[in-house]
Amino acid sequence: MKNQLLIPLFLTVGATLGGCRASTLPVTRSALGTPRQPADLLAVIDLPGPLTVDTVVSAYWEVDLDGLLDLSDPKAKAAGLTNRGEPIEVDFHAIRHPQLGLFVVDTGVERAERDDPEHVHVRGLVRKVMNGDKSRMVDPFGAWLGRQSDRLQGVMLTHMHLDHVWGMPDVPAHTPVYTGPGEATGKQLDHLFTQGLTDDLMAGQDQVSEWPFVAAADGGLAVVDVFGDGSLWALATPGHTPGSTAYLARTPSGPILLTGDTCHTAWGWQNGVPPGSFTADRDANRRSLNALRELAARHPKMQVRLGHQRLVP
Ligand SMILES: [Zn+2]
């Protein structure tokens, strides 16, 4: 059967069932991370920090622009943007803390994608719908991890879309995994289509630990001080998915913001246009994107690294 017929079938069945969670993994409140107020982040944001952040291209890929960008946005219309295949990257980010060691944000793609295509997890219909044949594997997570001398201490996810947990099979079993609140448990129709695969990709892990955000007193971004020393911050940016999370790392040369898929594209960031059909709640996504852009505008030394494209080629 053609994909075009199967997907409406899935969604019709799903609609009658009310959708399901992104993953059935147990969920707990993270013991790592201290809830703080935005003012606490702003007090240190421009001070040099101790972290390094290496962004690794795990794969090149091409997907539909109308998923990456809301083409009904007046700015997208004015620019004459129409749907087309858009080249993107699947990245992950290695964060090193001088005392606490190596962490990653997201996971790129699994090693089998490049080295053992017979045994990849993303296959069949899901692979077709994901445009899997339009991907070119560069540095799978397991291949990269094999070259590192330090042990991986944890995986911090921006969210649980398949292209962000694609490398999870290469993550050593029982590694702590962190997400925003509601990321694994939020019910959506398309999870009927992805939950089994997400669970397979994360099969070696015990649970998902949710960042302990508390609402900001001034209505701004809720923030968690991840290591308790003000070096790494998790920022609640719901919208793209319920638990979408951005990360801000303080390095010797200034702050680095990892937006996750609150913004996939360079054009979207430059023009303040949120993602399109890949986003669950476009209004909430727009509010989160605006908050991140305002933060970056007020701190010009900030380097911004987007979900799937480079701001500086
Ligand atoms: Zn996404």
Q: Distance from the CA of 161 to the center of ligand 1, in angstroms?
A: 5
pLDDT in tens, 113-148: 999 999 999 999 889 888 888 889 999 999 999 999
> Can you give the length of the chain in residues?
313
- CA-CA distance, 190 to 98, in Å (whole number)? 40
Q: Distance from the CA of 149 to the center of ligand 1, in angstroms?
A: 30
- CA-CA distance, 243 to 212, in Å (whole number)? 11
What pLDDT score was predicted for residue 2? Answer: 44
Q: Distance from the CA of 259 to the center of ligand 1, in angstroms?
A: 11
Question: What is the Cα 17 distance to its own chain's centre?
Answer: 27
- Collapsing DSSP to helix, strand or coil, 219 comes out as coil
**pTM score:** 0.94
Q: Distance from the CA of 159 to the center of ligand 1, in angstroms?
A: 7
- Its domain, for residue 106, covers 35-203+217-305
Burial of 40 (0-12, 13-18, 19+ CB in 10 A): middle
Q: What is the DSSP letter of 172?
A: P
Q: Is 133 inside a domain boundary?
A: yes
Q: Is 312 inside a domain boundary?
A: no
- CA-CA distance, 13 to 237, in Å (whole number)? 30
Q: Distance from the CA of 48 to the center of ligand 1, in angstroms?
A: 30
Q: Distance from the CA of 240 to the center of ligand 1, in angstroms?
A: 7
pLDDT in tens, 23-64: 999 999 999 999 999 999 999 999 999 999 999 999 999 999
What pLDDT score was predicted for residue 1? Answer: 42
Q: Distance from the CA of 47 to the center of ligand 1, in angstroms?
A: 31
- Find the CATH number of the domain harbouring 191: 3.60.15.10
Q: Is 246 inside a domain boundary?
A: yes
Q: Is 29 inside a domain boundary?
A: no
Which tokens belong to 272?
């303040």
Which regions of the chain are under pLDDT 70? 1-17, 313
Q: Is 14 inside a domain boundary?
A: no
Number of domains comprising the chain: 1
What pLDDT score was predicted for residue 130? Answer: 87
Q: Distance from the CA of 241 to the center of ligand 1, in angstroms?
A: 7
Q: Is 19 inside a domain boundary?
A: no
Amino acid at 14: G
Q: Using an 8 Å Cβ cutoff, are 305 and 259 in contact? A: yes
Amino acid at 184: A
What pLDDT score was predicted for residue 260? Answer: 98
Q: Distance from the CA of 154 to the center of ligand 1, in angstroms?
A: 20
Question: What is the Cα 148 distance to its own chain's centre?
Answer: 22
What pLDDT score was predicted for residue 166? Answer: 96
Q: Is 109 inside a domain boundary?
A: yes
Q: Is 83 inside a domain boundary?
A: yes
Q: Distance from the CA of 34 to the center of ligand 1, in angstroms?
A: 26
Q: What is the DSSP letter of 47?
A: S
CB proximity list for 204: less than 8 A, separation 6 or greater: 168, 169, 171, 172, 173, 174, 175
What pLDDT score was predicted for residue 64? Answer: 96
